[in-house]
Structure 1
Amino acid sequence: MASNTFEAPLVADLSSPSPDGTLVDVRVGIVTFPGTLDDRDAARAIDIAGGTSVPLWYADDDLQGVDAVILPGGFSYGDYLRAGAISRFAPLMSRIVDAANSDAAMPVLGICNGFQILTEAHLLPGSMIRNDHLKFVCRDQRLRVENTETAWTALYTAGQEIVVPLKNNDGQYVCDQATLDMLEAEGRVAFRYVGHNPNGSLNDIAGVTNARGNVVGLMPHPEHAVEPGFGPDSTGQGPVTMGDGTDGLDIFISALKTVVNGGTRA
């Protein structure tokens, strides 16, 4: 009998490189609102990247000395009124807005519902409305990194394509024509959908940045593409096995290195 020359591994190799030990002192606050779903995922992403995650509660008034902040995904307050509209008035958001706008320009990342909150808080321009097909979408999504001059994208190369999961109901990015022209002219589109626009966002916009590059929001979920065995089955370079897609990890490492470098992009 002819032997089978291919044998599938019984146990996957889920190892990953050890994180940079110089980043462990960077403290990144992960904010939890009522209805937040992905706070633990965001915290794990920071820990895998080599930093130290710090839980922050929306009703507190103290950032606990963190160096950066992530507003995770979910459905804060059940998306009542408008996604992110109520969370914008949480006591902790006042501290986050002040820190982001200060001379120190604290890095702030909003993922999905966090992106919606950042637009409601006017830290980022535009707004998010219901997907154009009026249905919840969940898929692995190809993105192009358009701006690498932000605290959260510095480790990518301009034009690099990555794959991270996407899951949203109110993910259509909209703004007036003047704002759209400004974003394009100033290079403030941070991420753009490639191959398929999953929600009808203007100009295929998946994420934007503020003028200083310390605040970034995006609808897809990079925190779900940071750990071998638990990510997408493809990357920007092509298919991978066993869920080994980790294209989102450099978003978090970028911010950690930006803090270590004193605000200079990693």
Structure 2
Amino acid sequence: MTVAVIQFGGSNCDRDSVRALSHLGIDAERVWYEDGLPADATGVMLPGGFSYGDYLRAGVMAARTPIIEAVREAAADGVPVLGVCNGAQIGCEAGLTPGAFTINESARFQCERVHVRVENADTPWTRAYDEGDVLALPIAHGEGRFEANDETYDRLVSEDRVLLRYCDAQGQVTDDANPNGSRGNVAGVLGDRETVAVMMPHPERATLPDLDGTDGAGLLRGFEAALAEAEA
């Protein structure tokens, strides 16, 4: 499989993402957004960074580039799509997943290692874990607070589409463990299809053994799991 890691002006995690995926044996290539989505792409990753300097609001300008329409079509066809950090903001702005990511409750940029709890282990992105597993992952964002209206949030919960929640090291979901004020401590959600996911923590920064932890590797292996499921 080949994962297209889409690079926008201001992206800064595209190389990290390609390296992390390659380390896992997953073929990946950077794709400049103006060049369009390659026809042979069997996965799409929207990486972190500050596309277009986060002007207007994070992710909104990138979400309106022509390549995103191709990403929507690919997602509708079952191609796995993962948005991380700024990619998560782009994914929500593009309607790939519900809700929105907005300014942290602290109104400060948060850059630290946090814990998240796996809420649904029956998805390609979390199949490497068990429900309730606690992962240590880095975050680096100023607009990472997940928000959704009551109807949207209740639907996400009832349909088991909350992927990850911020928690403490023991797996307790508490206000103190919530780094940005996200509603319900939500750190990642699924789209209408389980092959589409967005998350604020950076799994690519917790995949290489020499970078202090590999808890994110299983999340990136979701590309392989989704493709294998589609071909079964």
TM-score class normalised by the smaller sequence: over 0.9
Structure 1 contact 63–92 (Cα < 8 Å) conserved: no
2:108 and 2:166 map into 1 onto residues whose CA distance is 18
In 2, distance between residues paired with 1:116 and 1:222?
A: 16
Indicate conservation of the 8 Å contact 1:150/1:209, yes or no. Answer: no
Q: How does 1:107-256 map to 2 (within 5 A)?
A: 107-195=80-168, 196-230=177-211, 243=212, 245-256=213-224
Q: Secondary structure at the match of 2:187?
A: strand
Over the aligned positions, Cα root-mean-square deviation in angstroms equals 1.2
Identity %: 39
Q: Distance in 2 between matches of 1:79 and 1:48?
A: 30
Counterpart amino acid of 1:167? A
Q: Which residue of 2 aligns with 1:98?
A: 73
Q: TM-score, normalised by structure 1?
A: 0.82
Please tell me whether residue 73 in structure 1 is matched to residue 54 in structure 2. Answer: no
Tell me if the contact between 1:138 and 1:165 (Cα under 8 Å) persists in the aligned partners: yes
Gaps of at least 5 residues in structure 2 are: 169-176
Structure 1 residue ranges without an equivalent (≥5): 1-25, 231-242
Amino acid paired to 1:209: L
Residue 4 of structure 2 contacts residue 37 of structure 2 at CA under 8 Å; is this kept in 1?
no
Q: Does 1:257 align with 2:230?
A: no
TM superposition shift of 1:155: 1.5
Task: Count residues with an aligned counterpart.
Answer: 224
C-alpha displacement at 1:255, in angstroms? 1.8
Whether contact under 8 Å (1:193, 1:206) holds in the other structure is yes
The aligned amino acid for 2:25 is G
Specify whether residues 65 and 126 from structure 1 end up closer, same or farther in structure 2 by C-alpha distance, changes over 3 A only: same
Q: TM-score, normalised by structure 2?
A: 0.93
Cα pair 2:195 2:226 within 8 Å, conserved: no
Summarize deviations over 1:191-248 as a string: whole Å, max 9, x none.
1000210000000000000132011000010100011121xxxxxxxxxxxx2x1000
Q: Distance in 1 between matches of 2:231 and 2:146?
A: 28
